[in-house]
């Protein structure tokens, strides 16, 4: 690679790019240019070491990241006036790589090349079908939880046979093992794989067929793994098998940004790299190109409290920087007013909307912020599904609509078999088309109509928030979500937030309160759907913000129990607390210029007003880096 490309790197980055032989661990701090180093290293191996691109493999976690890496490598090779005769290196996600290998080796893997890959929704449907065939009660054995358990075990390279052997003396795990076995049979019957199979079957293929493993080891002699801290056990073994023949493995990661343990990510993989590869060289990238020194000093102080980490200290050439604002609100409405009032002020100072983001710890927090932005006429863009468009919110409101308006076939269709009542698609279509039904079919329809009758009576008898709670309980909808799972906790939190929202309609006589709620929800959804401006305020969870950066950043809900988030099972382990701290570190390091942190002394959750303590993380930030809201632009009109 020509010197002009190398000159764009700092000295530490140049060392990482130039070390091309043997194991290499690059500890890349937030904003330190890890993708730049990775792509420069790949181009350097090709252009300067004359290694054919076909011998190079790079693996990351998202298609977007893989495409960005491909684009950058191609640009670097063009700028070095080196155009490879062969194709570019293989750059893809773990799952895409596994799928490609399995299609190539389908007969040896026990599949045909035309196998289907199921998404999460399809996989969950298959779990439900397996449960039905086995006569398992979906309330006792929640399908989403079963799917989560199976996925986690597959990520640990545990098969259903291993699981069966381990759990045969325990009732609940034994039933899960039977469901899992039937699920695997159905996958094979359909010549289908789920996402986890793309990894576990490839590892099994390599372990059972040394000749196949050797072929791929010789094919990819230089291996690069991005975001190594996010690998699970299957990905760890997969990587190590491929790299063992030539030992040219380069992994890039940051344990301080490991925030996906609930997906199976194991930060110990990066901690044990030097043990696994005794000749490994370790290079730490500490110069940050994103944030001010103030922000980095705060982030360093916060993450230093964690014990399970590799020591590093981020620094920047951007000396100084604005102090971090902390605002104490009386309640969530006042907090939203503060966020929107400060945002409005920033906009008057010429800050583009797209350079402002609001981060939240969990989805239910977005509702009041979205309402405040809409009231203020400020365009916003939310990562993920907006509050009134979320499945669980639409489902519950569909129950109310169907109960009050029996001609609403759209709402009926949405909830007729949620939770399961044995009303399949064929019967549902017959009911909606008012076709003649058999005796058993009439019984199923009658049970559903009775549920709607009861909900209609509830809505007409109780204030809005109480009616909503009773309707959820009576329909059985509340019970389909497992509070012990990540998805269940999220869905239930959103339903609780809906109940909190509904309190404002309790001053109206039944059923007027609920009718007003339905009307407002429809109008809010319609307003949301036209907000497609690219220049808009961003709202997202901290998890969704990883990899992004903004000039001005709000982190709302800095309260004990919310951030750090309380475990739904009550098991506040050291590991869980350290992950919450890493998540806050990720939030802080998304900001380029200015941070605004806020908390509410009182917050209404599930219709109950709770008193909150400020997050322990706020006390970890050195005081000289902080300012109160009075120190920052006291002329702002917040409306309170």
Question: How large is the greatest C-alpha to C-alpha distance in the chain, in angstroms?
Answer: 82
Catalytic hit among 229, 257, 541, 629: 257
Q: Position of tokens 């093992």?
A: 177
Structure letter (DSSP) for residue 265:
-
- Give SS3 for 113: coil
Q: What is the rounded distance in angstroms from the CA atom of residue 474 to the CA atom of residue 169?
A: 36
Catalytic hit among 184, 194, 197, 227: 227
Phi, psi of 48 (to 5 degrees): -100, -30
Beta bridge partners of 609: 604
Residue 144 Rama label (left phi>0; alpha psi -120 to 50; beta):
alpha
What radius of gyration do the chain's Cα atoms show? 27
Residues 228 and 253: beta-carbon distance below 8 Å: yes
The reply to whether 226 belongs to the active site is yes
Beta bridge partners of 591: 550
Catalytic hit among 147, 581, 590, 594: 590
The reply to whether 590 belongs to the active site is yes
Residue 39 C-beta-side C-alpha neighbours within 13 Å: 22
Residues 447 and 437: beta-carbon distance below 8 Å: no
Residue 570: Cβ within 10 Å count: 6
Beta bridge partners of 611: 602
Catalytic hit among 34, 70, 72, 153: 34
Angle between helices 34-47 and 11-18 (to 10 degrees): 40
The reply to whether 75 belongs to the active site is no
Catalytic hit among 184, 194, 226, 230: 226
Helices (H), ranges, 433-535: 439-461, 464-475, 486-502, 512-529
- Give SS3 for 583: helix
Planar angle of CA 503, 505, 506, nearest 5 degrees:
70
Residues 19 and 281: beta-carbon distance below 8 Å: yes
Query: At 356, which helix (H) or strand (E)?
Result: strand 356-360
Catalytic hit among 12, 35, 167, 293: 35
What would the two tokens of residue 429 be? Answer: 């279509």
The reply to whether 227 belongs to the active site is yes
The reply to whether 72 belongs to the active site is no
- Give SS3 for 93: strand
The reply to whether 152 belongs to the active site is no
- Give SS3 for 190: coil
Beta bridge partners of 161: none
Provide the annotated active-site residues. Answer: 34-35, 226-227, 257, 590
């Amino acid at each position: 690679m020509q010197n002009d490309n190398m000159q764009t790197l700092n000295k530490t980055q140049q060392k990482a790019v130039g070390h091309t032989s043997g194991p290499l661990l690059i500890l890349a701090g937030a904003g330190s240019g890890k993708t730049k180093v990775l792509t420069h290293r790949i181009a350097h191996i090709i252009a300067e070491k004359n290694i054919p691109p076909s011998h190079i493999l790079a693996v990351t976690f998202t298609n977007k990241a893989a495409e960005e890496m491909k684009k950058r490598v191609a640009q670097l090779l063009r700028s070095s006036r080196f155009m490879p005769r062969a194709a570019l290196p293989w750059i893809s996600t773990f799952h895409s790589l596994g799928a490609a290998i399995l299609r190539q080796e389908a007969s040896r893997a026990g599949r045909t090349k035309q196998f289907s890959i199921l998404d999460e929704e399809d996989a969950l449907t298959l779990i439900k079908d397996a449960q039905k065939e086995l006569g398992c009660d979906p309330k006792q054995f929640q399908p989403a939880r079963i799917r989560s358990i199976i996925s986690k075990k597959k990520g640990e390279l545990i098969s259903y046979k291993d699981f069966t052997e381990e759990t045969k003396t325990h009732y609940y795990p034994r039933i899960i093992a039977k469901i899992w076995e039937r699920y695997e049979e159905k996958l094979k019957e359909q010549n289908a794989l789920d996402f986890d199979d793309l990894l576990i079957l490839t590892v099994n293929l390599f372990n059972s067929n040394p000749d196949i493993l050797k072929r791929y080891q010789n094919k990819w002699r230089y291996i690069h793994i991005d975001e190594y801290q996010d690998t699970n056990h299957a990905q760890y073994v997969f990587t190590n098998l491929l790299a063992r023949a030539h030992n040219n493995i380069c992994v890039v990661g940051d344990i301080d940004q490991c925030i996906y343990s609930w997906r199976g990510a194991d930060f110990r993989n990066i901690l044990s790299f030097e043990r696994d590869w005794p000749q490994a060289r370790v290079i730490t990238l500490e110069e940050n190109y994103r944030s001010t020194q103030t922000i980095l000093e705060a982030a360093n102080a916060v993450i230093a409290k964690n014990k399970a980490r590799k020591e590093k200290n981020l620094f920047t050439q951007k000396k100084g920087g604005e102090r971090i604002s902390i605002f104490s609100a009386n309640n969530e409405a006042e907090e939203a007013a503060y966020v929107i009032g400060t945002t409005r002020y920033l906009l008057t100072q010429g800050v583009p909307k797209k350079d402002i983001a609001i981060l939240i710890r969990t989805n239910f927090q977005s509702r009041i912020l979205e309402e405040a932005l809409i009231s203020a006429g400020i365009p916003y863009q939310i990562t993920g599904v907006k509050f009134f468009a979320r499945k669980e919110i639409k489902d519950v409101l569909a129950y109310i609509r169907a109960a009050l308006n029996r001609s609403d076939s759209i709402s009926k269709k949405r909830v007729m078999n949620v939770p399961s009542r044995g009303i399949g698609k064929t019967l549902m279509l017959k009911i909606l088309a008012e076709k003649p039904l058999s005796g058993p079919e009439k019984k199923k329809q009658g049970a559903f109509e009775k549920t709607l009758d009861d909900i209609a009576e509830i809505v007409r008898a109780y204030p809005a928030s109480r009616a909503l709670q009773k309707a959820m309980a009576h329909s059985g909808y509340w019970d389909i979500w497992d509070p012990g799972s990540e998805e269940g906790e999220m869905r239930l939190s959103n339903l609780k937030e809906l109940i909190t929202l509904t309190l404002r309609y309790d001053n109206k006589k039944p059923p007027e309160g609920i009718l007003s709620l339905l009307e407002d929800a429809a109008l809010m959804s319609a307003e949301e759907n036209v907000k497609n401006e690219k220049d808009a305020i961003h709202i997202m969870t901290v998890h969704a913000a990883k990899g992004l950066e903004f000039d001005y950043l709000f982190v709302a809900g800095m309260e004990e129990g919310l951030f750090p988030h309380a475990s739904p099972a009550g098991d506040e382990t050291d590991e869980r607390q350290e992950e919450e701290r890493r998540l806050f570190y990720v939030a802080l390091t998304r900001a380029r210029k200015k941070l605004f942190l806020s908390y509410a002394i009182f917050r209404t959750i599930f219709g109950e007003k709770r008193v909150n303590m400020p997050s322990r993380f706020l006390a970890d930030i050195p005081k000289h880096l902080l300012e109160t809201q009075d120190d920052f632009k006291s002329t702002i009109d917040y409306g309170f």
